[in-house]
Amino acid sequence: MLFELTPDQDFLWETTAKFLTSQAPVGEIRRRREDPLGYSPDYWRRGADLGWTSLLVTEEHGGGSVSGRGLVDLTLIAHEFGAHAAPGPLGPANVVAGALSRAGTRTDVIGALLAGSATAAWAWEEPGGLLAGRPPQLEIGADGDEVVLNGTKKPVEAAADADHLLVTGRSGDGLTQVLVPAGTAGLSVERLRTVDLTRRFAALHFDHVRLPADTVLGVLGGAADEVEQQLQQALVVQNAETVGAMDRGFAMTVEWAFDRYSFGRPLASYQELKHRFADMKSWLEGGHAISDAAAEAVAAGDADAAHLVSVAKAFIGHYGLELMQDCVQIHGGIGVTFEHDLHLFLRRVTANGATLGTPADHRQRIAAIAIEEDSRS
């Protein structure tokens, strides 16, 4: 998280932090372990009132940022989501709202997302991964004044209970995005098991799903740049959230190290452990630094945004987990029990590490960008 916030950003951050402290305490998160949604609809509506879904939507469509860079503002909320292991479709709702706003379509859906009365999911991932130059296998074909979708999207965050699904697929050599209403004929939803306690994932199977051609966002086969932007935004939210969870896991473990005595002295007095805390602190601050740098670059549309956002995911995806597992190790046996709260944050970091491209996928992207730049210079 940024060291210096504007007064408006500070207000946004603080209201969300306070709201989550009172509305998403660990007891509530534990209670909703088996809940299909993972949160109450009222919780999400009240969060939307705090601005959770408005920051990537233009003022013309009822949204707006607090600092002029809505994505950077959104990272403050995402950080708190991570720090509380909070439930709710924060990334998906914002990515879809932003996409609709840029496309200038379905203002009714935008309005419902802003109000928190509806939710949305972005169906991008596929089994086998999409980042290593592999195009989506889900096909979106034109048939008269209709489009037809065939294929599978998996895993898709918050998809099972979403009202609207923004589906990314392939049309020939190009990418296409279609806004699919929940319950459309030919669409089957499979709820997935997940490491996360309160976030939900689903697989979406499309079997000749037919929709009017005006459900396409933009031009058939012309969505590649838009998809890239959505991916970057989703990663920025995910990274900020992971760093928030790392922050919390690290703070809990530092506290434990002062509290826990072995052989008559606190764990914090053993040099072996002190040095591991120092390493973790360097990963944590590195995570903050690169998460914020990527958010600024994506928000500004900088030329190095793709590079920075992949660096952020590759780093935070890898070192976030190293940090959390070291926190488990320093806690000892209690760290792998359900009773202790540390796992709530380990779960969030684990789910985030695996989705939207693994660290290895992003290292390939970093290398591809670097080699491409190198061959041009």
Provide the binding-site residues for another protein, judged by CB under 8 A: 3-4, 254, 257-258, 265-266, 268-269, 271, 274-275, 277-279, 281-283, 285-286, 288-290, 292-293, 307-308, 311, 314-315, 360, 362-368, 370-371, 374, 377
Phi, psi dihedrals of residue 16, rounded to the nearest 5°: -65, -45
Closer of 22 and 375 to another protein (Cβ): 375
Closer of 8 and 279 to another protein (Cβ): 279
Closer of 105 and 270 to another protein (Cβ): 270
Closer of 339 and 372 to another protein (Cβ): 372
The token pair at 6 is 């504007």
Closer of 30 and 69 to another protein (Cβ): 69
CB 359, min distance to another protein, A: 9
Q: Which residues of 272-289 are buried (b: 16+ CB within 10 A; e: fewer)?
A: ebeebbeebeebbeebbe
Helix (H/G/I), strand (E/B), else coil: 167: strand
For the beta carbon of residue 39, count every other beta carbon within 10 angstroms.
Answer: 21
CB 94, min distance to another protein, A: 24
CB 232, min distance to another protein, A: 16
CB 234, min distance to another protein, A: 19
Nearest to 163 by CA among 74, 58, 53, 24: 53
Handedness of CA 351, 354, 359, 364 (dihedral sign): negative
**What is the CA 85 to chain-centroid distance, rounded?**
12
CB 309, min distance to another protein, A: 11
- List, in order, residues 6 or more apart from 270 with CB less than 8 Å away: none
CB 293, min distance to another protein, A: 5
Closer of 348 and 365 to another protein (Cβ): 365
Which residues, listed in sequence order, are joined to residue 171 by a DSSP beta bridge? 174
Closer of 37 and 284 to another protein (Cβ): 284
Q: Are 206 and 187 a contacting pair, CB within 8 Å? A: yes
CB 242, min distance to another protein, A: 14
Phi, psi dihedrals of residue 74, rounded to the nearest 5°: -65, -30
Nearest to 92 by CA among 241, 213, 257: 241
The token pair at 231 is 């991916």
